[in-house]
Amino acid sequence: MPGLQKVHWEGDPAAVTRSARRSGHVEAYVPDLVTGMDLFLPASVSADISDAEQAIRSINEPGAGFDNADPLARFLLRAEAVASSSMEG
């Protein structure tokens, strides 16, 4: 059964931020396990997934006009870092 579970968070004395150094009790959400679940995707969703997979595959092919992904990779890495930092507070 999914729900909140009270757990002890062990802080790291060597961490950079004060919140990461602190220990204490937190409530963690524990979801249902998906193992053994019968998952059903409508045909339209399966088709969308297939289209996305083919588009990604075509980008990765040599000569597709996207030979240097470094600028995009740097941008995405920075965006992910900013997003995760804002979540941590």
pTM over 0.75: no
Overall domain count for the chain: 1
Three-state secondary-structure class, residue 34: coil
Q: What are phi and psi of 5, to 5 degrees?
A: -130, 130
| Residue 1: predicted pLDDT | 82
| Residue 89: predicted pLDDT | 60
User: For 29-33, which contacts have Cβ atoms below 8 Å and span 24 or more sequence positions?
Assistant: 29/2, 29/3, 29/4, 29/5, 30/2, 30/3, 30/4, 30/5, 31/2, 32/1, 32/2
Domain that holds residue 46: 3-88
Q: What are phi and psi of 16, to 5 degrees?
A: -80, -45
pLDDT tens profile 12-68: 999 999 988 999 999 999 998 888 888 889 999 999 999 999 998 888 777 767 667
